[in-house]
Amino acid sequence: MAADFPGNTEAAPVGVFDSGVGGLTVLEALRRALPGRDFIYFGDTARVPYGSKPPELVRRFAWEISGFLLRRGAGAIVVACNTASSLALGDLRRLGVPVFDVIGPAVLEAADYHHVGVIGTRATVASRAYQQRLEAAGKRVWALATPLFVPIVEEGLWNDAVAELVARHYLEAAPHDLEALILGCTHYPYLKPLLARLRPQLKLIDSAAPTAARVAAALGPKAGSGSVVHYVSGDPDAYRALAQRLGVRVDQVRKVELGEL
């Protein structure tokens, strides 16, 4: 049964945001789970990466962007960024609309595994948001900050030799008896084929599908037009081109000046 709240109307789009193109992994899963819904996506491409910035700055960005999405009519917010999910969720839950994070759903996906690894940005790993939840569920946890993966994706280099070099470097540190690895950054699913090739025995878990399932269960299917409007703080043409290379068609993209947030 869909939750009853003011923004849960036929017309209300779902607001989704990330520091850049990473959240598109979640957006695409949301579109599959809720084909009739309208979405507004914000990629903060002028200020990516978030993961190396101080927590209070990320919290401020998340607050500003959520306010922007609400002013554009969003009836719910999906924080399609692990860094913002791990730092800003407490603030965002005061917004008065349903707010969904990407961490809880990924942790649940790891339920069947005992020795679980998590890779993410420096800020996500330092927040211990994943480690605390996994440890509370009785898991043995290994965690590593893997910040170079974000610029590799933002620069369109996920199929390049540099991606393999960096992935080998990071995975060298992973214990050999690790059973599952949570990709604790929404940029990382684009590296899944590479990571799967380097460590085929490892179950790779990401937030996109379980987050979308959770949002769909809470909001319920609504008949909209299935439209997506993208907003970016950086260059819209570069964003469209990168999204296209990632297999995401961007029909409407608008530039937002940081002063408008």
Residues at the contact surface with ligand DGL, assessed by CB under 6 A = 18-19, 22, 48-51, 81-83, 121, 124, 150, 185-187
Can 44 be counted among the known catalytic residues? no
Can 185 be counted among the known catalytic residues? yes
Whether 175 and 198 have beta carbons less than 8 Å apart is answered as no
Q: Is 74 exposed, middle or buried (0-12, 13-18, 19+ CB in 10 A)?
A: buried
CA dist 85 and 82 (Å) reads 5
- Give whichever of 74 and 185 is closer to ligand DGL, judged by the CB atom: 185
Catalytic residue, chosen from 70, 163, 185, 215, is: 185
- Give whichever of 12 and 206 is closer to ligand DGL, judged by the CB atom: 206
- Give whichever of 12 and 183 is closer to ligand DGL, judged by the CB atom: 183
Q: Is 176 exposed, middle or buried (0-12, 13-18, 19+ CB in 10 A)?
A: exposed
* Least distance (Å) between residue 80 CB and ligand DGL: 7
- Give whichever of 8 and 132 is closer to ligand DGL, judged by the CB atom: 132
Catalytic residue, chosen from 24, 81, 88, 152, is: 81
Q: Are strands 115-120 and 76-79 parallel, antiparallel or unpaired?
A: unpaired
Angle at 143 between CA 137 and CA 148, to 5 degrees: 140
Q: Show which residues are catalytic.
A: 81, 185
